[in-house]
Amino acid sequence: MDKIKTAIIGSGNIGTDLMIKILRLSTRLEISVLVGIDPNSDGLARAKRMEVKTTHEGIDGLIKMPEWSDIKIIFDATSAKAHHFNWERIKNFSDKKVIDLTPAAIGPYLVPPVNYSDNTDLPNVNMVTCGGQATIPIVAAVNRIAKVHYGEIVASIASKSAGPGTRANIDEFTETTAEAIEKVGGAERGKAIIVLNPAEPPLVMRDTVFTLSENGDKDAIRKSIHDMVQEVKKYVPGYDLHQEVQFDDIPETNPVFIEGLGYRHGLKTTTFLKVKGAGHYLPEYAGNLDIMTSAAMAVGEKMAQNI
């Protein structure tokens, strides 16, 4: 089976890890070019050692390369601002599909086990955020059993795994993730919080997901969450429950106030997650970056199958 040729824009931690994942693991994707803007970046140097073509002239440099004509899927692992610039260059080429790993959200949000089938043939899809990829499947798992009124996620990541791009996109992270909790997870209202944990040694990614839903069968909700965890583990082996799912009844006589929704009662479900990285390029504690690259590659594989 011929592999589909791809390019990665962004030679930082995420782009380099994604390149290594594709080289080692992908059965349908072939990495043709790694694109950067710093000729001295470690990512470009590593790509050259692995016999991957490179350019340090950004998207314009990629378009000028002879490999450009054969590339069908482009991963953008830059920043929200840079993706807007890159997309302006790419959108005129109808044979290219873009998988956006930034919070730019030009295309629709995509979380593989939740809504891939709704976005199979679009030119630009957005991978939300690391926190979104980790937690939105859980919100959706609850929502398919009992309608979720409110979903709140807290993503705690090691400070050392938050590079310049992540830190520059903190505002976009909270806004994009909260919106995707609603649009993909199915919650009426969403909220996202990110914590950069400076602990030494660095801790693996931890995520807490709170949902307030209509009253539903707790066993069915628990099973739905466990089933969803297994779906995510298919492409992120280090994704798992940190402890068992917890439930609290919020009675109609003592409702909670939710900004934008008013007073609501029902069932509160709390899910604790941990995400350990695969250690391909990044340390194992950098599960926040690993889940983004793993999810993006999973989407690329499915796109390649359709092409």
Judge whether 22 and 42 are in contact, CB under 8 Å. Answer: no
Encode 88-109: b = buried (16+ Cβ within 10 Å), e = exposed. Answer: eebeebeebbbbbbbbbbbbeb
**Distant-in-sequence, close-in-space partners of 139: CB < 8 Å, separation ≥ 6:** 148, 151, 153, 181, 185, 186, 187, 190, 209, 211
On the 0-12 / 13-18 / 19+ scale of CB atoms within 10 A, 195 is: exposed
- Structure tokens, 69: 């004509």
Compute the distance between CA of residue 230 and CA of residue 8 in angstroms, rounded to an integer: 28
Judge whether 160 and 144 are in contact, CB under 8 Å. Answer: no
Residue 130 sits at the vertex; the CA angle it makes with 127 and 230, to the nearest 5 degrees, is: 90
Q: Which of 20, 77, 104, 130 is catalytic?
A: 130
Closest CA to 80 of 157, 164, 189, 18: 164
**Distant-in-sequence, close-in-space partners of 106: CB < 8 Å, separation ≥ 6:** 83, 84, 87, 100, 124, 126
195 is catalytic: no
Compute the distance between CA of residue 271 and CA of residue 262 in angstroms, rounded to an integer: 24
Compute the distance between CA of residue 198 and CA of residue 159 in angstroms, rounded to an integer: 5
* The residue to which tokens 């302006």 are assigned: 88
Closest CA to 25 of 235, 199, 220: 235
Residues recognised as catalytic: 130
